[in-house]
Structure 1
Amino acid sequence: MAVNSLEVEVTGINIMDTQDMKNWIKQGELIIVGGEYIKVFFTEDYLLQIIKRKISGIITKKRYKEIIDGNLIKLCIAHGISIFFVDNFFSWSDIMSLIQRLIISNQSKMLQDVDIFHKKMLITLSDKKSYKDMCEIFYELVGYSAAVINSHFNLIDHSLDFEWENYLSNIAQIVPGIFEKIGTSYEGKHITGITDQRVNDYTKKSNFFYIPIIDSRKDSPYLIIRQEKQTKLLTEDVLAKIEFFCLIYRLKASYQYEYKLASNHYRNLVFEDLLSIKENNENEKNRISYSLESKIFDNYRLILIKDVSEKSNYTSIQKNSIFIKFREELSQCSFFNDNYLVFFKGDYWVILVPYISSKIEPFISELFKFLQDKYRSGKFCMGVSEVHPYWKLHLAFKEAEQSVYVLISNHSDKKYFLYQKLGILKLFLDDQGKINQLYVNKMLETYVYPLVNYDQNHHTSLLSTLEVFLESDFSHSKTSKKLFIHKNTLYARIKRIEQILDVDINHSDSLMNIYIALQIYQLSNE
């Protein structure tokens, strides 16, 4: 039998010179047995213990063949352990020397192969004319199908020789296995990873090894290597190449992250320039358009997003990382437009929405759903400014910020607020968006709560009638149509409201007070 037919890779050679040798045998070793130890070694109990150590083979001399039970030879063969019978005139030292030279030669070739792989991969990646992704380069150099996925099993990169998208399409967010040994490095270190334990058309034909690219397994991207079905462990040379791939990937990811940080910082500086414009200036507008590589429109709404959860006290690095991820994921959403501009200022995420359509709430609603789905630990408030020309975005920022303050200061359950809906209440807000509480209580107790109590006690709808009356510009005909009631019924309700509140609705002061009170009530109940 030839040495290259061994099922287990030869990692070393050892000679039996003591009965308790089984305790320190290493996986992959060739074991030399002779002399008095033949009878000890070739017993079923002892041999089974040796086989469990996953040795690569057994070497003995031809003269011992007659005293070895044929059933024990069959036992070895059944477990994939080859037995070599050498001529009697060979000394054990000659055999050990020859095999050690072969092992060293083989390992040297593997190391040279790994070194060549390192050089070729670096040259290919540094070639400005090469636009190939890393997994395709890896496949061309090594011949192994590979892919990279993120921690949510979304495909990031892959070689083109295999249906990676179809393979991953049904994987969802379920880890396909548990961490276990997938091979041993040149240094003897056990390498752990995941093997896909699912049963499907792909796993019936191939084995898939998942190796975390970052040392910390939490939120780590994974390199997936596809191997033949019979491959249970990855060889040392493959692991060395995988280790180098992961190193290059980490360096590349680090460079890309630093680039994104610098780009993000630059964009935010340009946004500060945009906020500083106080008059129409086409030259400045064109300069900023060029800097952002995006057209600056004449008019915008400005949206501020603030996380007010207890967990939002992040470091500067964490804030930048979270924002970069937010901007990238938002840009992939179907409701997002390439003309929208996204920035980071202080504790706010800023979105500039060109005034192309008067309807902003559908976008706001989709945006809030996106935030809820992606950042479940966050508690977000959004303020939306009125429409302003690009040279008055500093005012838009203040309006959006005031809207955020209104939500926070008045403990509203509403998740976003449009500045234009403040109406006359703008006159009664301080810089933090808070209304004078004594004034609020007095207005509500005088003009709202009496109607609320009356409606509850008499099962009427005077408060909602009054709200529709004000929304209809005090028109009796419009109000009666909206409420589907007769004008006389409306007149009777208005009369009852005047009696309960002790006001004259035809008097402008009374109307103003009622309007303000209803604005406050609606704000506190939204």
Structure 2
Amino acid sequence: MLTVKSFLQLPQFKAFNLVAGKGGLENEITGVNILDNPDASDWLSAGELLITSGYFFSENPEVQQKFIQRFKEINCSAICIKPHIYLKEIPESMRQLAETLSLPIIEIPYGIAFSKIMNIVMAEISGHVNELNQASLEIHSQFFEISLHGGGMKKIAAGLAQMVHNPIILVDTNWAVITVSDQKQTAITDILKKVGDTFLFPIEIFTDLPTNFERIQKPITRSLLFNEVEYPCVIMPVYFDTIHYGFILVCQIEQSLTDLDYVALENGSMAFALEQMRLFEIERTENRIRRDFFDQLLSGQIKDLTTLAAYDTTIDPALNYTVLIFSIQTTGNESTSLMQKKQIEDRLMKSMLSSLTTYIANRFPHLHVFSRKNQLVMLLGTTPTLSTVKTHNEVSDTAERIRMYLEQSGKMDREIFCTIGSTLPILELSRSFEEAKKVIHLLEDDEKEEKIYFFNDFYFDSFLVDSISKEQGKAFYAHYLNPLLAYDQKNNTSFTPTLKAYLAHHLNVATTSRALFIHRNTLLYRIDKIKSLLPVDLEQEKNTFALQLALKLYDLHQ
């Protein structure tokens, strides 16, 4: 084992001068790294001997203090500095802090090349690599046993905590806490934030994390405040086959991590990823079974209660049901590749389905949910004896509560809206499903100003789309509106929306002008101009209906 003390005793390094941190002479050196870029500190590993010219220290005392503290948090073995190039001399403030932290600072004589130090150190520690490999195999076997016997996330966290002798927090990609190794460790549980039924780790307390740092796919260290005392916290992104599954956080409350602890952390990361893959596969299989049943129900293939009873479901045939479809539209980075976007969407839907299933378990006993592509499809059971108004209110209230839960339980990188079909007996549910899908189609190119849409509010639009072909619709609105539309386009006027508002307010000048926020005389001028452009008399009742229908068809076919 190569320690800082034995390093300084090597013949080649007799001229090196220990200027601070004599309390760390027994620190083990497990690697060596050259560092002259301050942004590269997150790439360092525990036990490494750092070699630097001190370029990024400059003469700024705050920067010097920051990096000495950071190197200690990472558990580097020692810092070798070659002064007189960029750093004239090793400042007294750096020496004092290093002495307090027992972090050795070694002054390199001017004529020694960095490459020579690296070669000698690597030759000295080469035998240690075999020991680490053997220890890695033993650690791997322990995690294999945990996974083999279905230990789950709790046992993975507990096993890893025992290996590294520090508390462990496992979180998903949204920083929702999966498990904590020691629930009695109040220093940790007190900093977690509760949102609904979920606990979140407050990642925002780390103000200097690199952008998309999880892509580094290696542990980084930051300070975490527990009971007004700062402790190093190692954050390990969990990846497998380019897919990000979450993070492991090691709170170094008990002791600093060694290089062997980092080996355990890497193996724990693999166990974490494999367990998440197993859980996702179970959820996917369960969802597929649910989806197959609901596909048959919603397509009308189940035609009698005897067939329905043959399925092992909690559907109550005595209730009426309503189909709710929550459409999830991600608004992520447009530069993301199609493969990455698909992976992100799949993981998002799995996460939302899992979270929502837990949320509705005790709150909505007659609500059933499954996912398909970017949609969460739900069947809400209500008592048939309820009045139409009360049924509508119950469905509306349930939809709003679920929508708010979905929006509040994740990052603000998604848009969610809900479409709702009619409330019908269970064997007629296919109609409710088709109605909810029809509303999605009708809203396809519209701005989603509202969040919840009922089919009943779109019945007329649906009737027009189903009854009048696209060609017939265009011919109809062109007959009545073409001169008006052409004038608006040529002169950049807004006579068409003015006509729409005027008809909607039953040809009432006062209410229309107020709705459009224009003066009465301005509206009268526009109406006179509109009358001159229309092929029919605006004042005749039969024509007002025809014009309203033309405007509706125009909107539907844009």
The 2-side partners of 1:49 and 1:314 are apart by 44
1:329 lines up with 2:365 in the alignment: no
Shift of 1:340: 1.7
The 2-side partners of 1:341 and 1:386 are apart by 16
Q: 1:250 aligns with which of 255, 258, 273?
A: 273
Shift of 1:135: 0.9
SS at match of 1:408: coil
The 1-side partners of 2:399 and 2:249 are apart by 39
The equivalent of 1:162 in structure 2 is: 185
Q: 1:236 aligns with which of 259, 262, 266?
A: 259
The 1-side partners of 2:278 and 2:338 are apart by 23
Taking a change above 3 Å as real, the CA distance of residues 421 and 457 of structure 1, as seen in their structure-2 partners, is closer
SS at match of 1:214: strand
The equivalent of 1:481 in structure 2 is: none
The equivalent of 2:418 in structure 1 is: 382
Contact in 2 for aligned 1:425/1:516 (Cα 8 Å): no
Q: 2:473 aligns with which of 436, 439, 456?
A: 436
The equivalent of 1:207 in structure 2 is: 232
Shift of 1:167: 3.3
Contact in 2 for aligned 1:448/1:518 (Cα 8 Å): no
Q: Describe the superposition over 1:361-415 as per-residue Cα deviations: whole angstroms up to 9, x where unpaired.
A: 2223334445555474445553211112222222222111222223336777444
The 2-side partners of 1:212 and 1:223 are apart by 7
The equivalent of 2:65 in structure 1 is: none
The equivalent of 1:193 in structure 2 is: 219
The 2-side partners of 1:20 and 1:200 are apart by 38
Identity %: 11
Taking a change above 3 Å as real, the CA distance of residues 128 and 82 of structure 1, as seen in their structure-2 partners, is closer
SS at match of 1:16: helix
The 2-side partners of 1:372 and 1:401 are apart by 21
TM-score normalized by the length of structure 1 = 0.59
Q: Residues 96-495 of structure 1: matches in 2 within 5 Å?
A: 112-127=134-149, 132-160=154-182, 162-163=185-186, 164-169=188-193, 172-174=202-204, 176=206, 178=208, 193-201=219-227, 203-204=229-230, 206-214=231-239, 221-228=246-253, 231=256, 234-277=257-300, 280-288=303-311, 290=312, 292=313, 298-306=319-327, 319-333=345-359, 337-345=364-372, 348-356=375-383, 358=391, 359=393, 360-370=395-405, 372-373=407-408, 374=410, 376-408=412-444, 413-423=449-459, 426-430=462-466, 436=473, 449=502, 452=505, 454-457=507-510
Taking a change above 3 Å as real, the CA distance of residues 198 and 431 of structure 1, as seen in their structure-2 partners, is farther
The 2-side partners of 1:166 and 1:518 are apart by 62
The equivalent of 2:12 in structure 1 is: 16
Q: Residues 6-85 of structure 1: matches in 2 within 5 Å?
A: 8=4, 14-16=10-12, 28=29
The equivalent of 2:490 in structure 1 is: none
Structure 1 stretches of 5 or more lacking a match?
Answer: 31-47, 58-73, 84-99, 181-189, 463-498, 504-509
SS at match of 2:377: strand
Taking a change above 3 Å as real, the CA distance of residues 440 and 352 of structure 1, as seen in their structure-2 partners, is farther
SS at match of 2:309: helix
- Say how many residue pairs are matched: 408
The 1-side partners of 2:232 and 2:192 are apart by 14
Shift of 1:158: 1.5
Contact in 2 for aligned 1:177/1:196 (Cα 8 Å): no
Taking a change above 3 Å as real, the CA distance of residues 18 and 109 of structure 1, as seen in their structure-2 partners, is closer
Q: Describe the superposition over 1:262-290 as per-residue Cα deviations: whole angstroms up to 9, x where unpaired.
A: 333332222222224456523322233x1
Contact in 1 for aligned 2:419/2:436 (Cα 8 Å): yes
Q: Describe the superposition over 1:108-129 as per-residue Cα deviations: whole angstroms up to 9, x where unpaired.
A: 6665554443333332443368
Contact in 2 for aligned 1:10/1:29 (Cα 8 Å): no
User: Which residue identity is paired with 1:341?
Assistant: H
The equivalent of 2:37 in structure 1 is: none
Shift of 1:210: 1.7
The 2-side partners of 1:391 and 1:136 are apart by 49
The 1-side partners of 2:152 and 2:373 are apart by 40
The 2-side partners of 1:310 and 1:55 are apart by 46
Shift of 1:238: 0.8
Contact in 1 for aligned 2:217/2:238 (Cα 8 Å): no
The 2-side partners of 1:413 and 1:216 are apart by 40
Q: Describe the superposition over 1:159-181 as per-residue Cα deviations: whole angstroms up to 9, x where unpaired.
A: 1252332133496341526569x
Contact in 2 for aligned 1:178/1:194 (Cα 8 Å): no
Larger Rg: 1
